[in-house]
Amino acid sequence: MVTSLGVAVVGFGWMGRVHTQAYARVPHHFPQLTVRPQLVTVAEEVPGRAEQAAEQFGFASTTRDWREVVDDPRVQAVSITAPNFLHREIGVAMAEAGKHIWIEKPVGLSTADSSAVADAVSKAGVQGTVGFNYRNAPAVEAARDLIASGELGTVTHIRVRLFSDYAAHPDGALTWRYELERGGHGVLGDLASHGADLARYLLGDITSLAADTAIFLPQRARPTGATAGHALATGGELGPVENEDYVNCLLRFASGARGVLEACRVSVGEQNNYGFEVHGTKGAVFWDFRRMNELAVSRGTTYQDQPVTTVYVGPGDGEFGAFQPGAANAMGYDDLKVIEAYRFLRSVAEGVPYGATLADAVRSAAVLDAMVRSVETGSWASPA
């Protein structure tokens, strides 16, 4: 039997829109789901933005105060897509009110914040899904299966990279992302959080690390009005960038494998250059988000001069079959969010978690906090 599930979205910037579109599309791709999301309400503090979202996407009501969602009996599940400093307060309040949450990474400003939300979710017995979308890519799941199969031998090392230019423009506005109080970490929370999750998803737990960070653009112009995403602000009063633009980090895994994670938000010439290279004693697998549906794989028994071949993922790899009938038909970024919505709603329907959970957010946050400690002490640190 199909039941309807009232959903709310809190914060209607880029991620608010992407979550909303995913709710609309999820029944198209996953008709077997026994819950159907209904867009009940959208909470957004910028005047007019919620009304515009309601008109475009069909929310039944709007509010400027997310606290009204806590008490709204029509709402059983909430997307928390507001800036990082609000994740803890909203996440805990929604879980305590008995609402399932689909919350964006990095889940707050620190491990303490992520843990507070994780505790509230587990105490309330609700489901909590986290926006680590890159692990939802069918090619990433195929890489994980390949590693687990042992075909690559014993994994020796991984390189994870996340290079972007979204903050490279010197006129990029000084939004919440660049403040310690509202953004928390800089590129650590924005990109390295995904990298830490991917590294763990593929290779298991990280036991220690040594990091170096830098701020390359130390001042930006304050925006003069409401922002969403990565707006430009020319001529505004300059203020300080309080968190890091860049991180480079050595990793050690419980398995004994080694790794390097590098992330930068001000890399001119890099657009979503996200990916990994995993090496084993018998082979290797490479993934590049910009060619999301492909893997480059080297396997065999020749060791030296062993060829690398391109493998297109297809039905049978992850959730690819829910989107395309055959290999090399492209899926895109938004499809990863549809998969995430599916896993969230399936968790709600079955009372069992699918996909990335709050426990994964806590582990990723612990890695980021260890990076900060490592930078402060100039030594190796362990994710607590």
**What does the alpha-carbon distance between residue 101 and residue 117 come to, in Å, rounded to a whole number?**
10
State yes or no: residue 51 binds ligand NAD (CB under 6 A): no
Residue whose CB is less far from ligand NAD, 141 or 147: 141
| Residue 228 binds ligand NAD, judged by CB under 6 A | yes
CB-side exposure of 217: number of CA atoms within 13 Å?
22
Query: Could you say whether residue 42 binds ligand NAD (CB under 6 A)?
Result: no
Residue choice 6, 11, 186, 259 for contact with ligand NAD (CB under 6 A): 11
30 neighbors 342 (Cβ within 8 angstroms): yes
Instruction: Please identify, among the stretches 83-91, 253-261, 289-297, 298-306, the one whose residues bind ligand NAD according to the rule CB under 6 A.
Output: 83-91
**Residue 66 binding ligand NAD, by CB under 6 A:** yes
Minimal distance, residue 26 CB to ligand NAD, in Å: 17
Report how far apart, in Å, the C-alpha atoms of 238 and of each of 27, 174, 220, 235 are.
47, 8, 5, 8
The site for ligand NAD, by CB under 6 A, has a size of: 24
Q: Does 131 bind ligand NAD (CB under 6 A)?
A: yes
Residue type, 333: Y
Q: Which of 19, 88, 100, 105 binds ligand NAD (CB under 6 A)?
A: 105
Among 6, 13, 172, 283, binds ligand NAD (CB under 6 A): 13
- Point out which residues pair with 259 in neighbouring strands: 158, 251
Please report, as residue ranges, which positions from 15 to 34 form the binding site for ligand NAD (by CB under 6 A). 15
Q: Does the footprint of ligand NAD cover residue 229 (CB under 6 A)?
A: yes
Asked if 44 is part of the footprint of ligand NAD (rule: CB under 6 A), the reply reads yes
Residue 229: CB minimum distance to ligand NAD, A: 4
Asked if 14 touches ligand NAD (CB under 6 A), the answer is yes
Minimum CB distance to ligand NAD, residue 315 (Å) = 25
Among 22, 86, 174, 367, binds ligand NAD (CB under 6 A): 86
Among 72, 104, 113, 369, binds ligand NAD (CB under 6 A): 104
- Asked if 223 touches ligand NAD (CB under 6 A), the answer is no
Stretch of 37-45, 52-60, 261-269, 289-297 contacting ligand NAD, by CB under 6 A:
37-45
Nearer to ligand NAD, 182 or 291 (CB): 182
Residue 81 makes contact with ligand NAD by CB under 6 A: yes
Which residues are near ligand NAD by CB under 6 A?
Answer: 10-15, 43-46, 49, 66, 81-84, 86, 104-105, 131, 133, 190, 228-229
